[in-house]
Amino acid sequence: MILIADCGSTKIDWCLLNGNEKVAQIFTTGMNALLLTQQEMTERIHDELMPHIVSYKVDEIYYYGAGIISDEIKDSVRNALKANIPTATKIEVDTDLLAAARALCGREPGIACILGTGSNSCYYDGEKVVDNVSPLGYILGDEGSGAVLGKLLVGDVLKKQLPEHLCQKFLDEYNMDRTKIINAVYRQPAANRFLAQFAPFLERNIDEPAIHDLVLRSFTAFFVRNVESYDGYKQLPCNFVGSIALKEQKVLREAAAARGITIGNIIQNPMEGLVKYHSVNA
């Protein structure tokens, strides 16, 4: 049996496969391997995952996750999995970016992108990630992400760069004012998630010219500052995973067309694509 994990900081989507058949799908608390010790990860897997799969014999594990930035961290995750699932003879640990690439492109070359709370992209040759423009986070980069869209929206509201009715509508809907926003962004943790929560406002009001322009500019910046750095970007499909890409795909396609970029697949999360990818291997 094969166990696949799509791990984010908030939740982990686990899927157990028997050949091409999905046997079980389990959701547990997320893990950022950069922030947790091997022991903490071992305990979390033991407490939250193992009660659901203890009766199955797992032979292979494919774990894709947040915070996988070094071989040392890969080893820590691999050891945490091995401690709980000693029957596994193969344990592959890699990044959420490779998960996106495999889910979106399968075994074909392409450009794989993530547009969710944050953003990322890579050139994928059909087997591995061969080039990656650093996303740099929502302060220096993360163009097109929920956090950056929220940041642009809030900034335009507070500086009164949007029409007055939109500024007031935003403040009323979220019961926000300048003091609350400044406190959350500069004095509280997870400012990126705070800002990303406002992305749905853009979706609901996308027919407003000022909102459409804001989203279009951010998606255009994503293409210019990330995708256009890859060789042959106009010849390869540009594929996306993430809630922002899915919900704002009309404007995303508009931005791509203006830059001569062809959009391929757009999906909300990578698990179904990963199931297909690893089922072929089975």
At 8, which CATH number? 3.30.420.40
User: In the chain, how long is the greatest CA-to-CA distance?
Assistant: 62
Q: How far apart are CA 228 and CA 259, in angstroms?
A: 9
Is 187 a member of any domain? Answer: yes
Residue 82 pLDDT level (bands cut at 50, 70, 90):
very high
Is 102 a member of any domain? Answer: no
135 and 57 housed in the same domain: no
pLDDT tens, position by position, 205-260: 999 999 999 999 999 999 999 999 999 999 999 999 999 999 999 999 999 999 99
For residue 4, the one-letter residue type is I
Distance, C-alpha 148 to centroid of its chain: 14
Beta bridge partners of 12: 7, 28
168 and 227 housed in the same domain: yes
Q: Which domain holds residue 16?
A: 2-88
Is 273 a member of any domain? Answer: no
Is 209 a member of any domain? Answer: yes
190 and 163 housed in the same domain: yes
39 and 114 housed in the same domain: no
The model's pTM: 0.86
80 and 117 housed in the same domain: no
| Number of domains, the chain | 2
Is 98 a member of any domain? Answer: no
Q: How far apart are CA 2 and CA 61, in angstroms?
A: 6
Question: Which of 59, 88, 117 is the last residue before a domain boundary?
Answer: 88
pLDDT tens, position by position, 83-138: 999 999 999 999 999 999 999 999 999 999 999 888 999 999 999 999 999 898 88
pLDDT at residue number 190: 84
